[in-house]
């Protein structure tokens, strides 16, 4: 059937991405883990490419804090968006995940 895969997994990923506040970033692996499959980081990337274009995917980076390679426009565009959000992007297109990595649990601390 033409099935519409519920996208149960993807739906949760989009939900988290949509909740990422400006100036913060999340990793694909973390999003996958929060959604139930820590090893489905690739699916998160797929959701970004085939998912809702209205979500701030530019706030999603890899586990190393590097920007996505296949982002529409290139890492340069990705970096520009992050900088517009107030995120400091390194010359090598890397962000300080240690400081900008946002976690849902952080809400508890706040």
Q: Is 54 in the site for DNA (CB under 7 A)?
A: no
| Rounded Cα gap, residues 72 and 39, in angstroms | 24
- If the CB atoms of residues 7 and 80 are measured against DNA, the closer one turns out to be 7
Of the candidates 5, 105, 108, 109, which one interacts with DNA according to CB under 7 A?
5
| Rounded Cα gap, residues 105 and 65, in angstroms | 19
Sort 19 into a burial class: Cβ within 10 Å, 0-12 / 13-18 / 19+: middle
Q: Is 10 in the site for DNA (CB under 7 A)?
A: yes
Of the candidates 22, 23, 49, 76, which one interacts with DNA according to CB under 7 A?
49
Of the candidates 54, 64, 98, 108, which one interacts with DNA according to CB under 7 A?
64
Q: Is 83 in the site for DNA (CB under 7 A)?
A: no
Q: Which helix (H) or strand (E) holds 27?
A: strand 26-27
Of the candidates 15, 69, 77, 84, which one interacts with DNA according to CB under 7 A?
69
| Rounded Cα gap, residues 66 and 54, in angstroms | 22
């Amino acid at each position: 059937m033409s099935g519409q895969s519920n996208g149960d997994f993807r739906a949760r990923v989009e939900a988290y991405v949509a909740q990422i506040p400006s100036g913060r970033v999340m990793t694909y692996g973390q999003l996958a883990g929060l959604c139930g499959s820590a090893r489905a980081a690739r699916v998160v990337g797929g959701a970004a490419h085939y998912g809702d274009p209205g979500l701030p995917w530019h706030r999603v980076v890899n586990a190393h804090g590097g920007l996505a390679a296949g982002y529409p426009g290139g890492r340069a565009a990705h970096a520009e968006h992050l900088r517009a959000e107030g995120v400091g992007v390194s010359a090598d297109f890397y962000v300080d995940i240690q400081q900008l990595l946002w976690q849902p649990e952080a809400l508890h601390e706040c």
